Structure 1
Amino acid sequence: MTRIDRRALFTSGAAAALLAATGTSLAASPRAGGALRLALPREGGLLDLVARGAMLDCLTEVAPDGLLRAELAQSWDSQDQARVWRFDLRPDVIFHNGQPLQAKDVVASLNGLTLPGIDHLLVTALGTHQVEVQLSQPNPHLPYLLAGSAYAIAPQGAVDLPLAQLVGSGCYQVERAQEGRHFRATKVAGHYKDGQAGWVNSLDVIVIPDASVRAEALRDGFVDVAALPQPKELLKRGDFLYYPSAEDMALAMRPDVGIPRVVGQQSALDDGRIAERWWRL
């Protein structure tokens, strides 16, 4: 195969950079700083998944170890045998455009959506920082369901905008984006998750359709993580880390990429949350 033209690789939309999301920890604790560059294939909408995971938050989230924890909601309780739920929102959340999170944003983002096993739901604001969710059928798993990427919150419910225009409350805000080709984001200063997530200063996600080109981009140091189901001879075993293993591989990464000690097995890309959960050693 002809070697990559380095300038063409990173000035065209066919450049490289995506990340992986599971395995064994590479460091005792996360470190702040540096950049993370991810190379992904075109199919499956993976660039969009990772970009939105970096910019948008949900009411709840599933941590790397698979446990449910609060995100935009700081607490919740249920009534009427889990048919009615109330969520108290964090009062310290600021969207990337400088506006504070309010209950009306949650109402606009969630009303009209469907959930597994639920015919319909009705979301209403009970105050500036409290919402009520009424379900057509009781469901004790609602907080887990609302952690899904389909239930992200944006100002006035504008969750479906192009990446370059998208505003969220996540650890990263868009710097530039080209749909289906490239996404770059920078860390939000003073974020409510500081010290808990959002370790790297910047994130680049680049679509490289050809797996062999992704492998060479990783090998030559242009990206830090690449989706590589079959690296073949392009990677020397031992120089890189693999997930879930070198024999059954979905992701390859440079040895100076750190990941959580425990990462759930639901998705190799950790449901798009790699940007805020991985770090550079």
Structure 2
Amino acid sequence: MDRKQLYIAERTARYSGGQISRRSFITSLVGAGIAVPAALGMASRVEAQTPQRGGTYRHGMAFGSTTDSLDPGTYENGMMTQVSFSYGNCLTEVAPDMSLRAELAESYEPREEGAVWAFTLRPDVTFHNGKTLNADDVIATMNYHRGENSSSAAKGILSPVVNITKEGDNVVVFELDGPNADFPYIVSDYHLIILPSEDGETIDPTAGIGTGGYSMVNFEPGVRFQGTRNPDYFKSDAAYFDDMELLSIIDTTARQNALMSGEVQVADRLDPKTVALMARNPNLEILEKTGYLHYTFPMRLDSPPFDNYDLRMALKLAVNRQEMVDKILLGHGTIGNDHPISPSVPYWADLPQREYDPEQARFHYERSGHSGALQLSASDAAFAGAVDAAQLIQASAAAAGIEVEIVREPADGYWSNVWNKKPWCACYWGGRPTQDWMYTSGYTNDIEWNDTAWTGTEASERFNMLVDEARGELDEARRAEMYAECQTLIHDDGGAIVPMFANYIMGVGGGVTHGEDVASNWINDGNKSHERWWMS
């Protein structure tokens, strides 16, 4: 840059850092030869991108259930993920630029070629009850999820951990059953927010006390979560709002109306059918991110007739994926291939795309020996357009001689009464940044969230063995081969129909703004918009 550009950059940095006034900034720009209107515009842009403290953040969410609990081991939807990151923190976190960084940990390092990981905690971090964070809190929290009698949804992803010890009060050491280069990602999982231990060994999982940017004021399951800014938060560059409120608004139209009317400033999971119309509103920003989100129709192998390979294959071949992407996502996503790994995840394998083939679907259906209607449970609580997607499956399957009966389920209680219980239903998965994390969240045979109950087949046994071996495989080429086979096994034998990967579509208004980088590991800036965004 020339001297003039360097000078302007220096003045901009000083103004954004609060070191000079608006008047001084504009005067200096004018003195450098910038016209007054342009200088005023530059000042406004800097102000918009400079985090300001204050205001109340209100967010209309497409998630939530009256059966939700503050117990992190039970979190199963996007609202509870955001609640988790409101009052709690993990050892690590995925940053807005999608890199992994330390959070409650100050640093972390592998030992014994990744079979042991040591996390050094930040000093002087306090919980909302005034207790100082130490290694005992981390150990007690992790043991709560991995205990023998634990029913936590995080038990599976912690299964590689064989022992947890401490070195002094601020270093926690995880001993694994083998090398695992991905382990620092695992401890960023939203179930694993660190809670205060009561006696150095136990935690109260439902107290709602954490180290997060907001202290809980009120929690009404399936209705709202309210928090107020934690004045002692260890992050000086986060949690800018004075107060925050997350509102569960499951109905898509109601949620979008709340955004348009100003009842909320942010709404997620906007309907692709209406997002173009909403984009015409000059007071709204349509924020769209491509991440790991995928929509699924899991068939449970523990519920006949879905234990029949030919029946599962018939239904996979009876789905017109491209039609679904075109009519449900309207271009806001890409076609899926009956496995949960996004092309942006390391070691993604470019498998031959499964095409809609009613003749082959009919062949497998007849070979299955099944007759009669197959019930498919659906609700737009699963994802916007889930009922319409089910109707597309019904129509495309009919061409193969397969009768599908759609069961319209209530939105409230969908995740506790339908998903992971009904034999065939609509579902979504936020996806995970590593293959091991995704598999140990929803596909291995030892976890609560294996929503296809994919166990007992030769393919599933091979898959579980490969997942264990790949976790400790240090040869990159060999690891790629193993993960390619994992994807192939799910694609061929698994119970998941994965027709499409969807973009995250959010609406932002009401004076709320955000930084240039917005994370896409989860919706809503990694479900941390309440912490990372601010009032302009």
- Kept after mapping to 1: 8 A contact 2:286/2:506: yes
Q: Is the aligned partner of 1:32 residue 2:75? A: no
Counterpart of 1:219 in 2: which secondary structure?
Answer: helix
Structure 2: give runs of 5+ residues left out of the alignment.
Answer: 1-45, 65-75, 147-153, 290-329, 333-503
Match of 2:122 in 1: 90
Cα distance between partner residues in 1 of 2:226 and 2:242: 11
Tell which deviates more after alignment, 169-178 or 213-222.
Answer: 213-222
Cα distance between partner residues in 1 of 2:182 and 2:217: 36
Cα distance between partner residues in 2 of 1:231 and 1:34: 32
- Measured after TM superposition, the shift of residue 221 of structure 1 is 1.1
Higher strand share: 1
Counterpart of 1:81 in 2: which secondary structure?
Answer: helix
Note the 1:1-281 alignment, pairs <5 A: 27-42=48-63, 45-111=77-143, 112=146, 114=155, 116=157, 119-156=160-197, 158=203, 160-161=205-206, 165-194=207-236, 196-227=237-268, 228-230=270-272, 232=274, 235=278, 237-239=280-282, 240-244=284-288, 248=332, 250-254=505-509, 256-281=511-536
Distance 1:135 1:26, change over 3 A: farther
Cα distance between partner residues in 1 of 2:204 and 2:91: 14
- Measured after TM superposition, the shift of residue 107 of structure 1 is 0.2
Counterpart of 1:64 in 2: which secondary structure?
Answer: coil
- Measured after TM superposition, the shift of residue 65 of structure 1 is 0.5
- Measured after TM superposition, the shift of residue 26 of structure 1 is 9.7
Higher helix share: 2
TM-score by length of 1: 0.82
- Map Cα deviations across residues 209-242 of structure 1 (whole Å, 9 max, x no partner): 2211112211111100112224739846132111
- Map Cα deviations across residues 99-145 of structure 1 (whole Å, 9 max, x no partner): 11011000011132546595333211221111111011111222222
Distance 1:114 1:223, change over 3 A: same
Amino acid at match of 2:107: S
Counterpart of 1:170 in 2: which secondary structure?
Answer: coil
Cα distance between partner residues in 2 of 1:102 and 1:236: 47
Distance 1:27 1:115, change over 3 A: farther
- Measured after TM superposition, the shift of residue 158 of structure 1 is 3.5
Q: CA RMSD in A?
A: 2.5
Cα distance between partner residues in 1 of 2:273 and 2:129: 41
- Kept after mapping to 2: 8 A contact 1:26/1:259: no
- Kept after mapping to 2: 8 A contact 1:83/1:138: yes
- Kept after mapping to 2: 8 A contact 1:40/1:206: yes
Match of 1:14 in 2: none
Counterpart of 1:198 in 2: which secondary structure?
Answer: coil
- Kept after mapping to 2: 8 A contact 1:185/1:204: yes
- Measured after TM superposition, the shift of residue 48 of structure 1 is 1.3
Structure 1: give runs of 5+ residues left out of the alignment.
Answer: 1-24
Relative contact order, CA 8 A, sep 6+: which one is greater? Answer: 1
- Map Cα deviations across residues 83-106 of structure 1 (whole Å, 9 max, x no partner): 112111111100001111011000
Amino acid at match of 1:37: R
TM-score by length of 2: 0.44
- Kept after mapping to 2: 8 A contact 1:60/1:143: yes
Cα distance between partner residues in 2 of 1:274 and 1:178: 20
Counterpart of 1:269 in 2: which secondary structure?
Answer: helix
Identity of aligned residues (%): 30
- Kept after mapping to 1: 8 A contact 2:90/2:193: yes
Cα distance between partner residues in 2 of 1:236 and 1:118: 45
Distance 1:131 1:273, change over 3 A: same
Distance 1:121 1:115, change over 3 A: farther
- Kept after mapping to 2: 8 A contact 1:122/1:133: yes
- Kept after mapping to 2: 8 A contact 1:51/1:183: yes
- Kept after mapping to 2: 8 A contact 1:37/1:204: yes
Cα distance between partner residues in 2 of 1:75 and 1:230: 41
Cα distance between partner residues in 2 of 1:90 and 1:79: 20
Distance 1:55 1:159, change over 3 A: farther
Amino acid at match of 1:177: F
- Kept after mapping to 2: 8 A contact 1:166/1:174: yes
- Kept after mapping to 2: 8 A contact 1:153/1:159: no
- Map Cα deviations across residues 171-206 of structure 1 (whole Å, 9 max, x no partner): 111011101111100000132112x11111111001
Tell which deviates more after alignment, 176-185 or 124-133.
Answer: 124-133
- Measured after TM superposition, the shift of residue 247 of structure 1 is 7.3
Counterpart of 2:57 in 1: which secondary structure?
Answer: strand
Cα distance between partner residues in 2 of 1:159 and 1:203: 24
> How many pairs does the alignment contain?
253
Tell which deviates more after alignment, 78-87 or 93-102.
Answer: 78-87
- Kept after mapping to 2: 8 A contact 1:258/1:278: yes
- Kept after mapping to 1: 8 A contact 2:239/2:531: yes
Counterpart of 1:49 in 2: which secondary structure?
Answer: helix
- Kept after mapping to 2: 8 A contact 1:114/1:120: no
Cα distance between partner residues in 1 of 2:266 and 2:162: 39
- Measured after TM superposition, the shift of residue 169 of structure 1 is 0.2
- Kept after mapping to 1: 8 A contact 2:126/2:232: no
Counterpart of 1:213 in 2: which secondary structure?
Answer: helix
